[in-house]
Structure 1
């Protein structure tokens, strides 16, 4: 049993490290231009949403995008109103990681490692950043493979299986678990990948997984809320909007839950991993669509909570 626990911990560590290396590599390729792009494309709401999607898909971290936005608002380079669209887009862009890992390409991991070494040995800065991205892909899929293997063996344990059944019968507990898991590991992408691994091994069903996703979305706000403690009032508004966005999204999905779960199930009837990845993406797209009609009202409410002259 100890061997499998160590295998699980190693796999989970590799999984998180893989996402971190991918993020570092793609950020390095952008070479500091991301902030410039945000400043340029921050006038139109739909354009800012698209900007948030693209930037977060590149750097693989909605938390990093949100912190970048808080920095820009704190410096006065963009306004709170301009930042809100990027935040909505960031929540959609962060779902790309889950869409990537549903393709079972563990057999190609050695090639990712080989390409990483070859790119690094060139000594060129650009290729060394690509090296980090390849290394990240290799670590991500290797880690996921180790985690899934270990989880498959854990499921035979009576204690584990009984607790999973309890979780399935108490889906709202999934929100709490998702929240604290993401708040602790500081990566909703890693938490979602881990959730897919759990589902593939039969630990959670789609219903429970969606509630966990709700918690993960809110848990990813902890980083921004913590960072906002040391910045100006407008930057605090960004962190508050981030949380409100995810909270409203969770409430909306809960209200339409039977329809939502039926729609997700029909898209990929026999692939729980793909169902969760699709649920994560569609969840955030729907959240954005729900927020847009009330965009001005929500921003005004936040302005009233934190007025400039208080």
Structure 2
């Protein structure tokens, strides 16, 4: 390959690497705000679409938005139908890169201006800390994007010669299908539809391809973004697979519409007077058309996806999807959801032990495996570039998991509750604890529930103390055997420990809920650049 061709490839590499660096920095800078906005402004499908589009356009990453949504769905903070609306919006937001390239990158030739900006960004990234370092990385990535565009433009002549020698597919039906397939392959390789659209825009501006051919490539590149989603369906969690399937379904509809409307693209070019603007308008337009068709049908669309990807069978939660580790906050949402599910099953298991029921208790072995998987997952969540509130959530979940394991061990001590159940003397404390466990297994694990369980634990501790003194007096009087004394005092101590672990689990679950930034963090965000 000639030097110009190698330069074109290098320009693509600079663009993709710049996108990666900028996106990671923006995620670190704006993740908390984006999560708060998504949680707040997804109450209706329209707001969900707008939230998804804005967050993706700002972060320049639909993957970051989708991972956050998956974490919300897994944690019960968002319904699947709400998440589908956000996914629709994320597809529109991902077209923002094309607009930046068409309106700024190709027209203003900012490669030279980007050099001092790159120096400033690299300096901040090297000597700065926390937010300053992330700002420096974002500036560096932004600069590399425009440098990559300039290098691509410089090497596009060699690519043009190559395309003229090899010959592009014709503008007929078969040729357009071949170009769509080519676009799918390009996006599958570089894993960035934004970079793919930038390549098409550079070749279009250079005259290497026609507007119609560029449109077919962009359709393929848009469809190629679903390849990652299809791969995500393999071995992923239910939330991950449903989200991926919704992404695939939406893109199939939007891109099929785009292919049917492809003959009208030259007319859009004549209307705008600029082929680059026409191409990005077409890209955004067919994504909006897909939303216009599917948004009124979002409920049946969601039901179809749920039927295609059914929930995992059985009450025991499955292993947490490790792909959520890409986003610490999304990983913590999933971990909290799993911890609550396991805790509820443990509460039910203990309630059955305090009053044997006809139903079988949850499997102890499977619950222990789920708790062990949660512990392993928590140990590998990346916390390097996270806020203090995120680290507090992580610490709370570690405490929760510790109490969960302790509660599991208590539930395995079958002889302890057996010494109390059926004894008139212990009927009231046993009934109180059993009712508290059943209520905890069904109610939200919030601060109010934690306070209520704390009061129940204190009440049981006082009653247990009185009952132990009574048992000692009865044993001294010969009314209770020494063995019964030991068994029943151990049972009372067991009941007190169960109440304590239950209260602490609910308390730490409430702490691990997504919090608002602390006053210190909010002040730091206002003062730091």
Question: Scaled by the length of structure 2, what TM-score is found?
Answer: 0.54
- Aligned position for 2:146: 141
Moved segments of 4+, more than 6 Å: none
Select between 161-170 and 282-291 the one with higher mean Cα deviation: 161-170
Q: How far is 1:93 from its partner?
A: 0.7
Q: How far is 1:81 from its partner?
A: 0.9
- Aligned position for 2:296: 293
1:194–1:211 distance in 2 versus 1, CA, 3 Å: same
- Aligned position for 2:38: 38
The alignment partner of 1:156 has SS state of helix
- Aligned position for 1:94: 94
RMSD across aligned positions (CA): 2.2
- Aligned position for 2:198: 193
1:228–1:71 distance in 2 versus 1, CA, 3 Å: farther
2:133 aligned with 1:125 = no
Residues 70-125 of structure 1: CA deviation (Å, up to 9, x unaligned): 34334443221110011011111111111111223333212321331453366242
CA separation in 2, counterparts of 1:297 and 1:227? 23
The alignment partner of 2:202 has SS state of helix
The alignment partner of 1:230 has SS state of coil
**Corresponding residue to 2:268 among 251, 264, 270:** 264
Select between 292-301 and 94-103 the one with higher mean Cα deviation: 292-301
- Aligned position for 1:69: 69
CA separation in 2, counterparts of 1:39 and 1:134? 28
Q: How far is 1:147 from its partner?
A: 1.2
Residues 128-184 of structure 1: CA deviation (Å, up to 9, x unaligned): 222112111211111111112112133234xx3143432545011111111121112
CA separation in 1, counterparts of 2:290 and 2:169? 29
2:172 aligned with 1:175 = no
- Aligned position for 1:11: 11
CA separation in 1, counterparts of 2:191 and 2:231? 12
Q: How far is 1:309 from its partner?
A: 7.4
Gaps of 5+ in 1: none
1:263–1:78 distance in 2 versus 1, CA, 3 Å: farther
- Aligned position for 2:164: 161
**Corresponding residue to 2:285 among 278, 282, 287:** 282
1:288–1:54 distance in 2 versus 1, CA, 3 Å: same
Select between 168-177 and 51-60 the one with higher mean Cα deviation: 168-177
CA separation in 1, counterparts of 2:97 and 2:76? 31
- Aligned position for 2:455: none
Residues 181-238 of structure 1: CA deviation (Å, up to 9, x unaligned): 1112111111111111111122221111112111111211122222232333343121
The alignment partner of 2:268 has SS state of helix
CA separation in 2, counterparts of 1:164 and 1:196? 19
* Contact 1:164-1:203 at 8 Å conserved across structures: no
CA separation in 2, counterparts of 1:225 and 1:35? 25
CA separation in 1, counterparts of 2:170 and 2:23? 32
The alignment partner of 2:177 has SS state of helix
The alignment partner of 1:87 has SS state of helix
* Contact 2:28-2:134 at 8 Å conserved across structures: yes
Select between 245-254 and 73-82 the one with higher mean Cα deviation: 73-82
* Contact 1:4-1:150 at 8 Å conserved across structures: yes
2:260 aligned with 1:255 = yes
- Aligned position for 1:25: 25
Q: How far is 1:47 from its partner?
A: 0.9
- Aligned position for 2:115: 110
> Greater RCO between the two (CA within 8 Å, min separation 6)?
1
1:268–1:163 distance in 2 versus 1, CA, 3 Å: farther
* Contact 2:15-2:149 at 8 Å conserved across structures: yes
1:229–1:78 distance in 2 versus 1, CA, 3 Å: farther
Question: Scaled by the length of structure 1, what TM-score is found?
Answer: 0.90
**Corresponding residue to 1:240 among 241, 245, 264:** 245
Residues 26-56 of structure 1: CA deviation (Å, up to 9, x unaligned): 1121144433432232221111111101110
* Contact 2:160-2:203 at 8 Å conserved across structures: no
Between structure 1 and structure 2, the one with the greater Rg is 2
**Corresponding residue to 1:151 among 150, 156, 165:** 156
